[in-house]
Amino acid sequence: MRRIKEFLESFIVEFDWKDITIFKLCLTAFGIMIGISLPRKNKKAILAASGAVFIVSTILLFCGLFDVSCPFCQKEEEFDFDDDDENGLVMKISAADE
């Protein structure tokens, strides 16, 4: 199982936006096929569960998009304002690999 996980992690790193779009379309089509094949009596419960998953995942995606993080998950950074280091601010500039 670890080998499969490592393979998938290395494979997903190579994805660009087109690959992610195709992957999402594939999953959407798969979900529609499953939804069509469900018996009528189970559809309401599955609709509620999938709606909840949709809402939570959408909120998480938009939080990542707008760079909003959970206030309960952040660790407070401690700064030492009394540091008498006279080196000043050092700025590191690196060129992008082309």
Give the tens place of pLDDT for each residue, 27-86. Answer: 889 988 888 888 888 888 888 888 888 888 888 777 766 776 665 555 555 555 555 555
15 contacts 23 by C-beta, under 8 angstroms: yes
Residues 25 and 3 in one domain: yes
In a domain, 26, yes or no: yes
Q: Is the pLDDT of residue 88 over 70?
A: no
State the total domains in the chain: 2
Residues 31 and 61 in one domain: no
Q: Is the pLDDT of residue 6 over 70?
A: yes
Rounded CA gap, 11 and 9, in Å? 5
81 sits in the region (left: phi over 0; alpha: psi -120 to 50; else beta) called: alpha
Residues 8 and 26 in one domain: yes
SS3 3: helix
pLDDT for 55 equals 87
Query: Domain limits at 7?
Result: 1-37
In a domain, 78, yes or no: no
In a domain, 83, yes or no: no
**Helical H runs in 14-93?**
17-37, 43-65
